[in-house]
Chain A
Amino acid sequence: MTRIFLAVLMLLAAMRVAVAQETPLQAILQEHAAIITKSSRTTIKPAIAAVAGSGLDRAPEVLQAWQSKDMWQRESDGLFFRAEKLDGQTYRLIDFDTGEPAGEVSKKELSQIKPNSGIRALIAVALVQFQLSDPDPARRLDALVSLDRDPNPEALAPLRASIDGEPDPALLAKKHRLERLLTIAYDSDEAARVAAIDEMSTDLGVDVRATLNPLVATRIEIFEGEIPGTANVARRLTPGKDGFDRTAAYTMLVDKGFAAPRLDPDKVREVLTAHIDGGRVGDVPVSRLDTMPARAEAYATLVAAGLAEPRATEEEIDIRLASYQFAEIYAETSAAVTTAANAALGRIATRVGVYQAADLTLDALSLASIYFLAAIGLAITFGVMGVINMAHGEFIMMGAYTGFVVQQVIPNHTASILVAIPLAFAVTFAAGVAMERLVIRWLYSRPLETLLATFGISIALQQLAKNIFGTQARPLTAPGWLDGALALNDVVSISYIRIAIFVLALIFLGVFLFIMKRTRLGLETRAVTQNRRMAASMGINPDRVNMLTFGLGSGIAGIAGVAIGLFAKVTSELGSDYIVQSFMTVVVGGVGNIWGTLAGAAMIGFFQKGVEWLNPSNTLAAQTYMIVFIILFIQFRPRGIVALKGRAAEA
């Protein structure tokens, strides 16, 4: 009997083993069946860990099915299956361990496991380790991205394990980097963390700083008596010193319940108001309560009568503050790690500073290019011809609107820009020539009146643009290949459109120099500039030269308008936004010299960016300071950076 019993027992045991051997996943699931069906985020972890940690090939499939709500329990025997819907009521069951179909059943015999979003997130984390070694590189990349976004300690071991077998060098580098970051954040070995921190301290990535910063985060804690040795102290604080406000310190004590509130004026008024009795509070008439001493007196009488809580006096505050220790405590307990992290952050900050300076230089360069573009036409009309053209900004605007109109006709952005640039030049060239012929040539001897007449044209053109195009901003879209930015690293980047504008500025400079030095027009222009009467007697027609020069300056303004319109909104006020800066550029640079204009634009661009860097929140202030600076600069170089001297300057 005993033998039979034993035999049955052994048989049963053997069967169990067999079941466990043949269907290990089902066994694990059965083991945790209770918590799986309960489906609560707080208790589910062991079940997920057991599946994920089983080391079985099909474990990720279970997790995926679970996560995607494809895991069902057969009500008859409580076994778990993946189920595929065949039609409305029938499901095909698939065995987890074999991956083979295990029959088709009606929906009524099944109950679905519905993990909530919290559980699904946990499953996703568990899945990452499998995906990290997935044969499909795209899925490995997905896993890395998700891990980077949402790092967790559990992933560290599988991540390390997956590094060795990684065939793709790019993914390998990513994995290695992520492993270092996770080591810094989660490794249990202090030495390994410090080593990882040191290794990453030359990396400028935002993720490195995001990993290091929590390590050095502190909070202020209050200790009665000595600070325990286990605390990783960043620094001790003395109320009233080191930027640690006495009031704030006391408020912390009050918040913790360690001290009584102080005599807060609002609270006092509240209490006094509550105890007005027949026009008096305590013994003090209400009408007298319009000074703080009177209120304090009334409050004291209330306290004496037991009607109000006593309040802390200054002496009591000092005593309370003295009896507690305040310190900034690192959340991270390891002092070695916090020290290394601080040192690493310091090194990174230095490098970031250097690169930020480089980035700022690029920014300033592109701003200078914009000013140069806006001012170069003005430099021609103002510098070469001595004519001040207040409508210059409106020529820029006309160029931008020309670009907008062209884009309405030609939808292809690249083609439309290529058409818009010469067209803008033609339109503004014509407008400039017309203006020169009709107005400016009558006023050559009267510069101030030229200023005012061109201002009249400026307001008329602005209003005309408003009447035609409306007041709303019109888009001038850059071609697709100008989208995006060239990023050298996480700190230094420059958008392609700004590079394009920089290149355009260089081209303008080249074209201008070519026209002035190598063409007949340039020669005649220089001749007329230097000595009008002499030039006229040499057979040069000054009228024609003036007309063409003015047209050229206006045409360049039109092209600048297309360029500016690409990154600024095209409105009728576009030009007036740039006109003062353009004048400043020409004045600071020195009249009558293209290199002066270049220097002026560079100086104004760099100065403005510099001020913005010192006071990043306030671009208005930057412009204010820039103008004040220019006014002062004129003191030292009244004729600009590149000044003409001698008789030429007197003209």
Chain B
Amino acid sequence: MSTLLEVSGVSVSFDGFKAINNLSFQIGKAELRAIIGPNGAGKTTFMDIVTGKTRPDEGRILWGGKNRSLLAMSEARIAREGIGRKFQKPTVFEDQTVRENLLMALKNDRGPLAVLFYRPSAADLQRVVDLAEEIGLQDHLARKSGELSHGQKQWLEIGMLLAQEPRLLLVDEPAAGMTPEEREHTTALLVEAARTRAVVVVEHDMEFVRRLDCRVTVLHEGSVLAEGSLDHVTANQKVIDVYLGR
């Protein structure tokens, strides 16, 4: 399996505190991966680094088949390269309708002038409808997204991520605050998405991770503690000590 993203030897510190310490990480082109770890393990910082929000002090991040470095790119550029990110809190544009939210995320030219003269084509509109069906919001296209329930917002955000057609999806705690039925739907969405692209899920909830049924990377104090199947890592004594044992 060829590598889509390769992070090697990355470190970053804030005021002397090493949030990420010589971290190395790889993911393939169509793979589902869960990242777990206690608070302060560097999960969010890791996502910040990959998406360009935080610049690492050292290390390299290579992307795609051509092994291009992500370090010199802006956040927007990285997003256009095909890395989508879902935040912990649902962040959709609450003042705008579900349809507007999805259309904004659709993969199209993102330059100001192109956007200014953009008219949605029939294909674009159809794609929005399809996406809405996929995330179960087909009946809510014309509603303000601010009126949606918490779980619906999470799905809308996943839908927006899918609309971007990313090659790598970074998802931060998607199941937080969801009802069991909503969790199930979310799991299905992520597993489905991982068929065609790489998906990295950061999660606290072991039950949810187990359902994803994928390779797991355990982070601790800014570096990888263990990697493998969930059963494999939960059997690891170090993991039990720092995380599960508590």
**A interface residues (Cβ-Cβ under 8 A, vs B):** 645-647
Closest 7 CB pairs of A and B: A646-B14, A645-B14, A645-B15, A646-B15, A646-B17, A647-B14, A646-B19
Tell me the complex Cα distance, A647–B15, Å.
Answer: 10
Residues of B within 8 A of A647 (CB): 14
Bitwise interface map of B from 1 to 29 toward A, beta carbon under 8 Å scored 1, else 0: 00000000000001101010000000000
Contacts A/B (CB < 8 Å), 7 sampled: A645-B14, A645-B15, A646-B14, A646-B15, A646-B17, A646-B19, A647-B14
A647 to B19, CA, bound (A): 11
Contacts of B19 in A (CB 8 A): 646
Q: Which residue of A lies closest to B53 (CB)?
A: A650
Residues of the B chain whose Cβ atoms lie less than 8 Å from the Cβ of A646: 14-15, 17, 19
CB-based nearest A residue for B15: A645
Nearest CB in chain A to that of B17: its residue: A646
Name which residue of chain A comes closest to B44, CB basis.
A647
Give the Cβ gap from B18 to chain A, nearest Cβ, in Å.
11
A639 to nearest B CB, angstroms? 13
Assembly CA distance A646 to B12 (angstroms): 10
Q: Shortest beta-carbon distance, A651 to chain B, in Å? A: 13
List of B residues within 8 angstroms of A645 by Cβ:
14-15
**C-alpha gap A552/B56 in the complex (Å):** 40
**CA separation between A645 and B14, bound complex, in Å?**
6
> Roughly how many angstroms separate A647 CA and B54 CA in the complex, as a whole number?
11
A47 to chain B, nearest CB (A): 89
Instruction: Give the Cβ gap from A646 to chain B, nearest Cβ, in Å.
Output: 3
CB B21 to nearest CB in A, in angstroms, measures 15
A647 — nearest CB in chain B belongs to which residue?
B14
Bound form: Cα–Cα A378–B212 in Å: 51
Residues of A within 8 Å of B14, CB to CB, are 645-647
Q: Which residue of A lies closest to B12 (CB)?
A: A646
Q: Which residues of A contact B17 (CB under 8 A)?
A: 646
Cα A363 to Cα B17 in complex, Å, equals 41
Q: How far does the alpha carbon of A645 sit from the alpha carbon of B17 in the complex, in Å?
A: 10
CB distance from A648 to the nearest CB of B (A): 8
- CB proximity of B19 to chain A, nearest CB, Å: 7
**Minimal Cβ-Cβ distance residue in B for A646:** B14
A645 to B57, CA, bound (A): 13
Question: How far is A645 from B15 in the complex, measured between Cα atoms in Å?
Answer: 6
Closest chain-A Cβ to B200's Cβ sits at a distance in Å of: 21
Q: Which residue of A lies closest to B54 (CB)?
A: A646
Instruction: Give bound CA distance, A646 to B45, whole Å.
Output: 10
Query: Complex: how many Å from CA A646 to CA B18?
Result: 11
Question: Complex: how many Å from CA A546 to CA B15?
Answer: 27
The complex places the Cα of A646 from the Cα of B14 at a distance, in Å, of: 5
**Closest A residue to B14 using CB positions:** A646
**CA gap between A646 and B17 in the complex, in Å:** 9
Q: Which of B65-108 contact A (CB under 8 A)?
A: none
Chain B 190-204 per-residue mask, 1 if CB under 8 angstroms from chain A, else 0 = 000000000000000
Closest Cβ of chain B to A621, distance in Å, is: 36
